Each structure stands twice: as structure tokens, then as C-alpha cells.
Amino acid sequence: MPPRLSSAIAWKKLQQHQKEISRTTLSELFAANPRRAEQLSVEASGLFLDYSKNLVDNKTLALFDALAEELGFTAACQALRQGNPVNHTENRSALHGALRDAHGTSVYVNDVDITAGIQQAKVQMAEFVDALHRGNTLGGSGKPILDVVNIGIGGSYLGPKMVVEALTPYQQKTVRCHFIANIDGTEITEVLENLNPETTLFIIASKSFSTKETLCNAIAARKWVCQNPLLEAAIEKHFVAVSSNIPAAIEFGIKESNVFPMWDWVGGRYSLWSTIGLPIAIAVGMTHFQAMLDGAHEMDQHFFNTKPRDNMPFLLAMLQIWYNNFFAANSHAVIPYDHDLRSLPEYLQQLEMESNGKRVDSTGTPVDYATGSAIWGGAGTNGQHAYHQLFHQGTQLIPVDFIFPLTTHNPVSDHHAILIANCLSQSRAMLVGKTLEQATEELLQQGLSRDAAKKLAPHKVIPGNRPSNTLTMEELSPARLGALIALYEHKVYAQSIIWDINAFDQWGVELGKQISNEIYQTLASSDKDAHYDPSTNQLIKRFKEANRK
Ligand code: F6P
């Protein structure tokens, strides 16, 4: 039985249509319709998406709609919203949307309305944050806590870290937030060397409370605190936990009242809205944290109540599928032209690649089409001096999402105008390129001889006709950041519907964890020989020789 998508009528029509549209260019599409830019733009939740610089026409968009209809897109969205077990391999809901519905619309998991628990956890967060900000949270030696260190990895790190960074202008100045994720001892060493144990509190953030990196770092942090006997006697004053595994957190030594609950129906990479977002609330306060939730909720409403043609997450999803599945563009770049969004691409890597890096469909049948893209990027304008060359003259198509706020929190001379001029220059250069004639003429104008110009010009040709999206917002505020993150969450889910894959499990990471535990035993023992493949064996041998005591 072929996968559902492969036999979809609209999918086959898109395959045919790709040949048709490849015979035209973006410049021709703009020339044919003076209103193209305004018609291929959409606003939602304070975000403005200009998707007119994409290799699509009305027929493409109509086929996107037809595919959504054929694959039951709307029903799948409602299934997510009402808490159906969309994570079917773990028989779990994915109710990150419920975390940001301030109206507390009832949602039931196993016949229990989860809204009360959500509200209680937010009250627990608010009380904790308020005491911290008032200087009423004292360490074992009676001094107020001044530094909070979040120990967590993956979804227990990337979201909070990215948001705390993105909302720098909104940070309060009394308590500083720090993050430790990697098991590499360098990270914890570099973070703790500037902190005072007496005034430092750790958040052990781990949904499972079994992630090795996090537990090892938590033990190292506890040792660091316990160097001071005063603090050792009151160790519970220096640790709280965020976890769905409360018994394990208590066993580690966290007081039960210092455990912030999270739930199985929130995926790790979708959890920054939950108590995993505690560092965010500490950094910017509960008011801004709630504003971020509200912005995300606005995007939820847009996603669940807007037909595909005007549905921003659906459009981003299908545009990326268009290039991924019909133009063999298997990587996608996200380039925020905003220093405070510099970690957004890294956050989106987990969100997109751990969600949609899947190879079997909902029936367990291996798919015969591409699924999740490789996501990468970084802040502009830096990338222009690093990898944009590949966008402009590389041999592979790499679609780009450009993101920028119309106004800046930090006006310095005319820097913001220069920054945005650069962002717009990149999408325009990808659109129009530079022909051989233009390159030759330019060189002649510069005074080169005709022969010299003829020789150099081919190297300066830029093909253009390369697609990009541009997303803007009035300013990078908590509400707009919430809407932006929710936009990408729903884009990922929309893609999983089309590809018929599970966006909410991550079985692929289990093998690595299992093998790393085995290899660690080999590395740690003096007599255990390596019995793996020859490459791994020789590398283990080199490690042992270099670290022989
Ligand atoms: O990489 C696997 C993973 O389970 C991620 O999905 C998750 O965000 C991360 O590890 C951390 O998991 P935990 O919060 O349970 O420590």
C-alpha cells in the first residue's frame, strides 16, 4: 500500500505543475501582476508575511488548498486543538496550545480538565518569581538569591534561552539568568566560575528527569553548592525542579513544594509556555511572560479559524514543502535581522528537525517522499559575510525566511535603516540576480578592457529567481515573539499533516543514548576492550591513550 500522500490527486497535480511553473521566473510573475506583492501577503497576530517572492502562482496556491482539503487538514487541526492523541505512537495529546489560553477553555485529557492544573502551575510560578524579584528568596547563608542557573537540554533549554535573549529589552535587573545544557564540563565551569554559591539557585529542568547530561550537571552543581557546609545544611534552598517526573525530582533532593509540574501532553520542544518557561518568567516577569502566551494564543486562533489560503502557518508549511518535495531543496534557512533573535534558528532546529525528521507515515510505512528539511541560519547582517554567497551563486536552491522588526529597541544613528536595507537587499538580490550583460556592462563602466570584462563577467553572474519569505512585525515584543514561535510550531504541525508523520515523538534519538551509555562503560573501564566497529574501536583506543592516568 503506497503512502497516502503519494497517491493524493493534488500531490500528483503539483508534480505536473512544478514543470509548468519552472518555465517562468519570479520577475515574469511580478511583471504579469502589478498587485502580486499585496495579494501574496497575509497578516495575523501582528505579523506580516510577504510570500510574493516565491515560485508560485494562483494555480499553485489552488493546488495547496486542494491538497489540504484532500488530506483532511482542517479536521487534523481540530484534533490537535481538542486534545486527541495526535502523538499516536505514545498515545498522547499535544496541548501546548492549552498552556497559552488565558480564558481557560476546558480541555480534557483522560477525562480530566487540564485547565485547573495549568492555572495552579502559573500561580506557583508567579509566587516564586515575585519572591525572587523582591529579594525574599534566601540561600542557606541567609543572602538573597541573585543568580538563577537553568540546567536542562533540548526543549528544556533552547526555548527558554532563546526567549530570554529575544526579550533582553524587557529583562528586569535584579536576578540574572544563566543556562547550562552540555555535559561538556567546560560549560558548567565557565558559568559557575563567576557565581557565588551563596546567592545562586539552580533550576533542574527535565521533563523526564532522566536525561544524563542534565542529571550529571545537577550533581556537579550540588557538589559546587555543598562545598560550603552552611549551604549543604540548607541545600533545598538552592534547588528547584521542573519536571513531569516528580518522584525522581524528590529523590534527587528537591523539596516537593519546589517542584514545578509539567505534563506528558506537552512535548519537550513545545514546552517553553509551561513551567519550563520559568527562567523566562524570572528574566522578564510574569506580565511579559503572559503577554508572550497571549500573542501565541492569538496565532492559535488564527491557525484554527482561518482557511488554508489565508492561513499563515499553512502557507509557510506548504511553501517549504513545495521546495523540499518538488525542487529538491532539502535545507531551509531562517535569517532574523535582529541581534536578539540570533538564537531563533537554533531553537527552530529542534522544533522542526526533531518533529519532522521522520521516515515512516502514520501506518508505519516507510515514505517514498522527502520529509523534514535541515533548518539552519543565523542573524543578519552577519550571514552576508559568511554564507549568503551560497544563496546567491551556489548550485543548490536554499529557500530563506527573512525576519525583521520594523522598529528597534536600540536606535543607534541610522543603524536600523542600514540593517533593514541589507535584509531587503538580500531577498531582492535573490529575486532579480545579475545577468551576464549587466555584469559585463558594469565591468566596462569600471574601466576594464572588453577582453578582461568578457573573462571576468561569468564569475559575477547571479542567477536570481531564488525564493524567500519576509516576515515583519512592528517591534520584537513579548506578544509578537509569542506569535512568531507559535507560527513556526503550527507550520511544523501543518507539514506533519501533509507528510502524514508524527511531529511529537522522537524515537530516533534513543539509539544514540543507548550506544553512548555502552561506550561510556568502555571508556571508563581500564580493562574493557572495545568491541564495536573498527573505526569506533580505534577512536576509543586513542581516547584511552590520551587520558591514561
Ligand atoms: O533529545 C531528546 C529529548 O527528549 C528532547 O525531545 C527533549 O527536549 C530533551 O531530550 C530533554 O528532555 P528532558 O526535558 O526530559 O530532560
- Distance from chain centroid for Cα 203: 22
Q: 51-93 pLDDT, tens per residue?
A: 999 999 999 999 999 999 999 999 999 999 999 999 999 999 9
Q: What are the backbone dihedrals phi and psi of residue 333, each rounded to the nearest 5 degrees, phi first? A: -105, 140
What local confidence, expressed as pLDDT, does residue 169 receive? 98
What local confidence, expressed as pLDDT, does residue 104 receive? 82
Q: 277-302 pLDDT, tens per residue?
A: 999 999 999 999 999 999 999 999 99
**1: pLDDT confidence band, cut at 50, 70 and 90?**
confident
> Given the DSSP bridges, would you call strands 331-336 and 400-405 parallel, antiparallel or unpaired?
parallel
What local confidence, expressed as pLDDT, does residue 528 receive? 76
- For atom 13 of ligand 1, the residue with the nearest CA is 206
- 354 in active site: yes
The owner of cell 536525561 is 211
Q: 252-268 pLDDT, tens per residue?
A: 999 999 999 999 999 99
Evaluate: CB of 214 within 6 angstroms of ligand 1. Answer: yes
- 513 in active site: yes
**2: pLDDT confidence band, cut at 50, 70 and 90?**
confident
Of the residues 87, 96, 156, which should be mutated to test ligand 1's pocket, given the most ligand atoms within 8 Å of the CB?
156
The owner of cell 578592457 is 449
Q: Which long-range contacts (CB under 8 A, 24 or more apart) does 184-190 make?
A: 185/220, 188/217, 188/220, 188/221
3-state secondary structure 312-374: HHHHHHHHHHHHHHHCCCCEEEEEECCHHHCCHHHHHHHHHHHHHCCCECCCCCECCCCCCCE
pLDDT tops 80 at residue 108: yes
Please, what is the average pLDDT of the chain?
Answer: 97
Mean pLDDT to the nearest integer, 413-441? 98
No. of helices (H) and no. of strands (E), the chain? 22, 13
Reading the block at residue 120, the C-alpha cell is 495552579
Evaluate: CB of 154 within 6 angstroms of ligand 1. Answer: yes
What is the rounded CA–CA span in Å between residue 192 and residue 107?
42
Task: Give percent of the chain above pLDDT 90.
Answer: 97
User: Looking only at Cα atoms, what is the longest distance across the chain?
Assistant: 83
**249: pLDDT confidence band, cut at 50, 70 and 90?**
very high
Mean pLDDT to the nearest integer, 432-437? 98
- Which positions ≥6 away from 19 have C-beta within 8 Å? none
Please provide the size of the chain in residues.
Answer: 549
What local confidence, expressed as pLDDT, does residue 31 receive? 98
Q: What is the chain's percent helix, strand, coil content, to nearest 5?
A: 55, 10, 35
What local confidence, expressed as pLDDT, does residue 527 receive? 78
Reading the block at residue 36, the C-alpha cell is 502580486
| Count of alpha carbons within 13 angstroms of residue 253, beta-carbon side | 16
Of the residues 207, 209, 215, which should be mutated to test ligand 1's pocket, given the most ligand atoms within 8 Å of the CB?
207
Q: 506-542 pLDDT, tens per residue?
A: 999 999 999 999 999 999 988 778 899 999 999 999 9
Mean pLDDT to the nearest integer, 141-160? 98
- For atom 3 of ligand 1, the residue with the nearest CA is 154
Mean pLDDT to the nearest integer, 1-13? 93
Evaluate: CB of 159 within 6 angstroms of ligand 1. Answer: no
The DSSP secondary structure of 273-286, one letter per residue, reads TTGGGHHHHHHHHH
Q: 458-501 pLDDT, tens per residue?
A: 999 999 999 999 999 999 999 999 999 999 999 999 999 999 99
Torsional sign, CA 48, 493, 154, 92? positive
Cα-to-centroid distance, 203 and ligand 1 (Å): 15
List 288, 354, 489, 490, catalytic entry: 354
Cα-to-centroid distance, 266 and ligand 1 (Å): 12
Confirm if 202 and 242 have CB atoms less than 8 A apart.
Answer: no
Q: Which long-range contacts (CB under 8 A, 24 or more apart) does 56-59 make?
A: 56/21, 56/319, 56/322, 57/21, 57/24, 57/29, 59/17, 59/20, 59/21
Mean pLDDT to the nearest integer, 236-251? 97
What is the rounded CA–CA span in Å between residue 40 and residue 159?
30
pLDDT tops 80 at residue 549: no
What local confidence, expressed as pLDDT, does residue 216 receive? 98
Cα-to-centroid distance, 435 and ligand 1 (Å): 48
pLDDT tops 90 at residue 3: no
Cα-to-centroid distance, 210 and ligand 1 (Å): 9
Mean pLDDT to the nearest integer, 430-453? 98
What local confidence, expressed as pLDDT, does residue 217 receive? 98
pLDDT tops 80 at residue 343: yes
pLDDT tops 90 at residue 151: yes
Reading the block at residue 317, the C-alpha cell is 508549511
- 385 in active site: yes
Sheet holding 147-151, edge to edge: 176-180, 147-151, 200-205, 239-243, 259-261
Q: What are the backbone dihedrals phi and psi of residue 365, each rounded to the nearest 5 degrees, phi first? A: -85, 130
525 three-state secondary structure: coil
Cα-to-centroid distance, 154 and ligand 1 (Å): 5
Of the residues 90, 153, 260, which should be mutated to test ligand 1's pocket, given the most ligand atoms within 8 Å of the CB?
153
Evaluate: CB of 153 within 6 angstroms of ligand 1. Answer: yes
Evaluate: CB of 268 within 6 angstroms of ligand 1. Answer: yes
The pTM (predicted TM-score) of the whole model is 0.98
What is the rounded CA–CA span in Å between residue 331 and residue 398?
6
Cα-to-centroid distance, 442 and ligand 1 (Å): 54
- For atom 9 of ligand 1, the residue with the nearest CA is 154
